[in-house]
Amino acid sequence: MSLSESELPRTEDEWRVRLSPEEFRVLREAGTEPPWTGEYVDTKTPGVYHCRACGAELFRSEDKFDSHCGWPSFDDAIPGAVKEIPDNTLGMRRTEIRCARCDSHLGHVFEGEGFTPKDTRHCVNSISVRLEPKQG
């Protein structure tokens, strides 16, 4: 289900035809889905979360935890899968996270909140990812 390098869309118009309007708004225009509305907020199913745009593996269910913030939260990402970009919009100093492969917006990463021993929260839009449940 992962797109090969040559299949990756090159322009926003190519992305637009591949994604639903809501997926496009979040993934390609750095939108945010309303809290508590995403399909994976409370999901505990074991598996791997893939980028909904390109299919790259991003997060593991083992790293998902209950942050009670309204979005799926992970205290770690698959190494190299996610890139971090300073985001100073909305008068806040935050760090945006994007898929390292296709540059699609995933959410933001926060540190120092004390939720887990890793002290990191990748706050991810459900619509940016797709869970592939573990087989067997």
Please identify which residue in the block is written with the tokens 């399909």.
39
| Of 53 and 123, CB closest to Zn ion | 53
Positions annotated as catalytic residues are 123
* Residue 100: strand, helix, or coil: coil
Can you name the residues that pair with 49 across neighbouring β-strands? Answer: 59, 131
* Residue pair 109/121 in contact by the 8 Å Cβ criterion: yes
* Contact flag: residue 81 with Zn ion (CB under 5 A): no
Compute the distance between CA of residue 25 and CA of residue 28 in angstroms, rounded to an integer: 6
Q: Looking at 19, 54, 77, 127, which residue binds Zn ion (CB under 5 A)?
A: 54
* Residue 136: strand, helix, or coil: coil
Q: Looking at 28, 50, 98, 101, which residue binds Zn ion (CB under 5 A)?
A: 101
CB of 99 to Zn ion, least distance (A): 3
Q: Looking at 53, 82, 97, 106, which residue binds Zn ion (CB under 5 A)?
A: 53
User: Interface with Zn ion by CB under 5 A: which residues?
Assistant: 51, 53-54, 56, 99, 101-102, 104
